[in-house]
Structure formats: C-alpha cells, structure tokens
Structure 1
Amino acid sequence: MPKFLIQATYTSEGTKGLLKDGASGRRAAVEQVVADQGGTVEAMYFAFGEDDTVIIIDLPDPVSMAAISLAVKASGALRTRATSLLTIEEIDEAARRQVAFRAPGKQ
C-alpha cells in the first residue's frame, strides 16, 4: 500500500479547532478520514517550527491521497504538503530500470 508523508500547518481557524478538540480529537479525525479512504495512520506527531503536525499514512492509491488533500485544503483549516514515500526495495527496483533521458542542450 502506498505510504505518504503529510506535513501540515494550521491556519488561525484551524488552531482554534485544535485548542477546542485537543490533539487526541484531531488524531481521531485524521484516523477517520484516512480509514474512510481505506487507509491507516502509521504515525502522527505535533511539532514546533514550520510544520505543526507530521503524519505518515498508508492509502490504497494516490487518488485516495488526492481526495483527502482536496477536502482538507478546501476546509481552510490547514496548509498541507503530501510526499509519496518509497521503500528501499522500490528505489532498488527503480535504479535497475533503463531510462533513456537526454539533458537539455545535450546531444
């Protein structure tokens, strides 16, 4: 199952919701939305700095990630970034594949 890293920053409205719901309430909400798309939450942490929360989730496919991302962003409560995570084995497989690529300006 594809794995994704979510990095999110709360807007002022989202922060008000976090203060009201608490961290455990937000985790429950994240687990529910991910489960509704057939996935699971591997880890969820709150952080200091540029990102307020960091989440690792497993989802059936990238379309599920896109659906969650669209719904979350439309709420206006968070600004998010999603990164597809690859296993060591997947990178090993990619490294074995032949790719014909010509850099710009090269013959």
Structure 2
Amino acid sequence: MTKYLFEANYVDEGIKGLMREGGTKRRDAVVEALKSVGGSLECFYYAFGDTDVLGVFDIPDQASAAALSLMINSTGAVNLMLKPLMTPEDIDEAVKKTPAYRAPGQ
C-alpha cells in the first residue's frame, strides 16, 4: 500500500453539498470511495485558506489512486490533488541508485 496526502477544495455545488450534508457525511463518502478501490483512510481534516480538506489515505496501487482522483475530479464539485508519500527508508533506497542524467546545456 502507498500512502497519499490528499488536498481538496470544494467547488460550486460541492460547497453547497458540504453545507447541506455536513463534514462527517463527506468524510464517510471518502471512506466508502476508498473502500471501493481497496484503500483506507488514515486521517481527514478540514481547514481554511488555500485548502478546504486534507488528510492521508492508503491505496493499493497507482491505477487505483488515479481512478479515484479522476472520478472525484470529474464531478466538478471537488478539485482533488494527490501526493504520494515516502518513508525515510524509501529515500534511503533512492539515494543508493545512480540514474543517468544530463542537465540542460551540459
């Protein structure tokens, strides 16, 4: 399972739906959506400012994460952004690798 940080903003009808349903029902909808692709919710928070809602979930593979993101964003009620999260051990493995790369102009 990969952990993802999610950040979302309610748009237009999404804001109206949140006002009608409340926060816990929207969180429950996220839990059900995650279950439908074999994932689970670790944490879920509302905020104000640049982001309306954020949290962390586990999801089994990138295709499932992409499918979930596409479905949610296709509603037009929410703008969802996902960021895969890496552990310190993942970085330890990354720094052991030596990819080939040429910087622009070099």
TM-score tier, shorter chain, comes to over 0.9
Which whole-Å CA distance do the structure 1 matches of 2:55 and 2:33 have between them?
Answer: 13
Secondary structure of 1:92's match? helix
Measure how far apart 1:26 and its partner are.
0.4
Per the alignment, residue 15 of structure 1 pairs with 15
| 1:82 counterpart = 2:82 | yes
Measure how far apart 1:101 and its partner are.
1.1
Q: Which amino acid aligns with 2:102?
A: R
Q: Which amino acid aligns with 2:69?
A: S
Map 1:19-34 → 2, pairs under 5 A: 19-34=19-34
Which whole-Å CA distance do the structure 2 matches of 1:38 and 1:76 have between them?
Answer: 24
Map 1:1-107 → 2, pairs under 5 A: 1-106=1-106
In the TM superposition, what whole-angstrom CA distance separates every residue of 1:44-82 from its partner, at most 9, and x where no partner exists? 000010110002110000111100111101111111211
TM-score by length of 1: 0.96
Task: Give 4+ residue runs of structure 1 displaced > 2 Å after superposition.
Answer: none
Which whole-Å CA distance do the structure 1 matches of 2:11 and 2:100 have between them?
Answer: 44
Unmatched runs of 5 consecutive residues or more in structure 1 = none
Secondary structure of 2:22's match? helix
* Total equivalences in the alignment: 106
Measure how far apart 1:98 and its partner are.
1.3
Secondary structure of 1:48's match? coil
Q: Which amino acid aligns with 2:41?
A: V
TM-score by length of 2: 0.97
CA RMSD of aligned residues (A): 0.7
Measure how far apart 1:15 and its partner are.
0.8
In the TM superposition, what whole-angstrom CA distance separates every residue of 1:24-55 from its partner, at most 9, and x where no partner exists? 00010000000110010000000010110002
